[in-house]
Amino acid sequence: MPDTLTLIDNRTGQEYTVPITDGTIAAIDLRQIKTSPDDFGLMTYDPAFMNTANCRSSITFIDGDRGILRYRGYPIEELAAKKSFLEVAWLILKGELPSAEELQAWTNDVTMHTMVHENIKKFIDGFQHDAHPMGIFLSTVGALSTFYPDAKHVLDAANRRLQIRRLVAKVPTIAAYAYRHHRGLPYVLPDNDLTYPGNFLNLLFKMTEAKYTVNPVLERALDVLFILHADHEQNCSTTTMRGIGSALSDPYSCVAGAAAALYGPLHGGANEAVLRMLAEIGTTANIPGFIERVKQGEGRLMGFGHRIYKSYDPRARILKEMAHQVFAVTGRNPMLDIALELEKIALEDEYFVSRKLYPNVDFYSGLIYQSLKFPVAMFPVLFAIPRTVGWLAQWEEMLLDKDQKIARPRQIYTGVMERHLPEFEKAAAGKPKA
């Protein structure tokens, strides 16, 4: 059977055959379908890209119906069980897991780039004391482009490698400084003896002690959280990253834009919204009333539902398990009972079942973050740190993809076609109409 699609335009009776490649037709192949020679040609209308592939990618595979997530072919469950975030970051960026030597060099490179220019601290100091840490984070990452003007050479492979190292290394420092500013605490220096998540905990929580002692359970929990959030194919922030990057903007500006997309409550801001929702519910007795209000359309059950997953989000399953390990160290988060009961009721309710609404990654991550003593405003920042790796891998893939050009969707114009200021009406009357 030929891999083609035959279309008949009932306006003209004309038949067209277009190739099918990888389960898609190229939208540009529809342009030949016209009613007259001066017709622009047929386009597709797809708000929110519900059924449009924007790129070819070999980074992350998701099967939303079967609840599968793989980075470069490896199941997320295996990576979360056995690998460190820096190994997974290398895998996502390079396509293969690092050898022992590559991992050592990569760890060393990242560790050596964790410090930020002193002026970055002054820049952060300029924010209001109660500024949202995500606002500080995305502005500061954007500001880095002024510290590294060489980053504009995005078509130079060695330059890209350097900026990627810098970004992966510096985002935890900026995130921690955003938190310290938010709390009115002095900034501390990175500790090169510690792991990537261990150093992040040090940057956040070190007080007057000479050396910060990292709790290994919490360090591993953070590492796993980072692995789970590292990439998620063509989501809103990644699409933003690719879109900005397609104009050949520098990677700091691109990451700032992607972080701005992640800030939204329907995306990375959802974990913050989950905690606020659980606090609002207050006790398990209030759950039925809350569910009823959601079903009436008065708000959403935050941390539930996903554009792609129409079964349990595999990341949520890993986090639900991990929550118990973390709570063994930090003490049980009292909101866990509300979350578990809410999940139980929602998974049995016809409204949620028929719409295939299951817990997503944000449903349990917020509870863990809270037990690790993060204020809710830090939750989207904690998402942005590991996602920087995914954004950068997708950005580089886009730059190297011969099919890609500057992103520029079409529109269906619905406004007034032509009108004139009174002074020009007479002159326009004589001209042919568009």
Task: State which amino acid sits at residue 191.
Answer: D
Name which of 140 and 235 has its Cβ closer to ligand CMC: 235
To ligand CMC, the closest distance from the beta carbon of 204 in angstroms equals: 23
Q: Is 231 a catalytic residue?
A: no
Rg, Å, the chain Cα set: 25
To ligand CMC, the closest distance from the beta carbon of 259 in angstroms equals: 13
Please report, for the chain, how many H helices and E strands are present, in that order: 18, 5
Give the active site residue among 191, 223, 306, 313: 306
Ramachandran class of 25: left when φ > 0, alpha when ψ lies in -120 to 50, beta otherwise: beta
DSSP one-letter string for 348-412: HSHHHHHTT--B-HHHHHHHHHHHTT--GGGHHHHHHHHHHHHHHHHHHHHHH-TT--S------
Name which of 9 and 292 has its Cβ closer to ligand CMC: 292
Name which of 133 and 380 has its Cβ closer to ligand CMC: 380
Binding site for ligand CMC (CB under 6 A): 232, 235, 266-268, 270, 294, 300-307, 355, 357, 360-362
To ligand CMC, the closest distance from the beta carbon of 298 in angstroms equals: 10
Instruction: Give the separation between CA 220 and CA 376, rounded to whole angstroms.
Output: 20
Name which of 214 and 277 has its Cβ closer to ligand CMC: 277
Give the active site residue among 109, 153, 267, 401: 267
To ligand CMC, the closest distance from the beta carbon of 284 in angstroms equals: 19
Name which of 177 and 364 has its Cβ closer to ligand CMC: 364
Contact present, 288 and 345 (Cβ < 8 Å)? yes
To ligand CMC, the closest distance from the beta carbon of 269 in angstroms equals: 8
Name which of 201 and 291 has its Cβ closer to ligand CMC: 291
To ligand CMC, the closest distance from the beta carbon of 294 in angstroms equals: 5
Name which of 199 and 235 has its Cβ closer to ligand CMC: 235
To ligand CMC, the closest distance from the beta carbon of 7 in angstroms equals: 28
To ligand CMC, the closest distance from the beta carbon of 352 in angstroms equals: 7
Q: Is 362 a catalytic residue?
A: yes
Instruction: Give the separation between CA 323 and CA 333, rounded to whole angstroms.
Output: 9
Give the active site residue among 362, 401, 403, 420: 362
Name which of 76 and 357 has its Cβ closer to ligand CMC: 357
CA distances from 377 to 138, 175, 218, 283, 380 (A): 13, 11, 20, 23, 7
Q: Which two tokens stand for residue 207?
A: 């007080």
As beta bridge partners, residue 389 has none
Instruction: Give the separation between CA 313 and CA 330, rounded to whole angstroms.
Output: 25
Q: Is 65 a catalytic residue?
A: no
Helix (H, G, I), strand (E, B) or coil at 318: helix
Instruction: Give the separation between CA 192 and CA 195, rounded to whole angstroms.
Output: 8
Tell me the residue nearest to ligand CMC as measured from the CB.
305
Q: How far is CA 97 from the centre of its chain?
A: 22
Q: Which two tokens stand for residue 2?
A: 């030929």
Quote helix, strand, coil % in the chain, to nearest 5: 55, 5, 40
Helix (H, G, I), strand (E, B) or coil at 71: strand
**Packing angle of the helix pair 157-183, 251-262 (nearest 10 deg):** 50
Residues tagged active-site? 267, 306, 362
